[in-house]
Structure 1
Amino acid sequence: MSKANRPLSPHLQVYRLPMTAKMSISFRAMGVGLAIGFVFLASWLIGAGAGRDAFNGYHAFFTSWFGLLLLFGWTAAFYYHACNGIRHLIWDTGRGLTNEGAAKGNPIVLGAAVVLTIITWIIGLA
């Protein structure tokens, strides 16, 4: 077989990742985001223990629009990661391991994460 007649591998521009693969990748990315968020949480707690001036600086940052956006993203990442973790626990029992089962779980995980994030922010802002 000459080089000109060899088949080409599908590339990401041609091949579309299934939703389950996208959610698997985002599950790992959210884990990284959570780790970064916990660094912010730890620095906030250290600031709270360091005195009023340090705490006021953190408070000013986290109540700004950018700080609230970060907190919202961290909350969404937390619930998405938690809901996907529950799905993984269900998979550990042997349920839903088929392609169809994984596809049915995708909207449940996404919907639960969105609903829990919104409920948390409604309660938090009330």
Structure 2
Amino acid sequence: MSVRARPTSPHLQIYRWTITMAMSILHRATGIANYAGMTLVAIWLVAAALDQDALDLVNVVFASWFGQIVLFGFTWSLVHHMCGGLRHWVWDFAAMMEPGQRETMAWATLVASVVITLLIWTVFVWAA
């Protein structure tokens, strides 16, 4: 009885990276980040329910440079995940899309998420 070598599964070194592949991975990563970021919302709500001192402490942490970076990243994660969800929704209802159209939508998702995040922070955070 001869032993046959089993075929190996394709791996990331074989595939050519595409924008749609990267956006698919990033969509999953932002979904995970959104779960983690929701703890920030829960912490703020619990602090608000406890007393003014707890809320002031959380607000000081969120207002620090590190807190602002984390909140900016969380905002971008939420917006990017929403844009990615809309992209997938369009894909579900499009009869056929050419590869160039899919790549354009993937780039548009990335650009739109950055622009919308900057708009949100410009209007609601930096202008305040």
**RMSD, aligned α-carbons:** 2.2
| Structure 2: 5+ residue stretches without partners | none
Structure 1 residues 86 and 49: CA distance shift in structure 2, 3 A: same
Describe the SS at the equivalent of 2:61: helix
Describe the SS at the equivalent of 1:12: coil
Is the CA contact (8 Å cut-off) linking 1:37 and 1:74 kept in structure 2? yes
Number of corresponding residues: 124
Other-structure match for 1:56: 56
| CA displacement, residues 23-75 of structure 1 (integer Å, 9 cap, x when unaligned) | 10110000010111111101111101100111111111100111000000001
Structure 1 residues 57 and 91: CA distance shift in structure 2, 3 A: same
User: Which TM-score applies when normalising by structure 1?
Assistant: 0.85
Other-structure match for 1:125: 126
Greater shift after overlay, 77-86 or 14-23? 14-23
Other-structure match for 2:67: 67
The residue type paired with residue 125 of structure 1 is: W
Is the CA contact (8 Å cut-off) linking 1:90 and 1:96 kept in structure 2? no
Other-structure match for 1:36: 36
| Structure 1: 5+ residue stretches without partners | none
Other-structure match for 1:83: 83
Is the CA contact (8 Å cut-off) linking 2:87 and 2:106 kept in structure 1? no
The residue type paired with residue 87 of structure 1 is: R
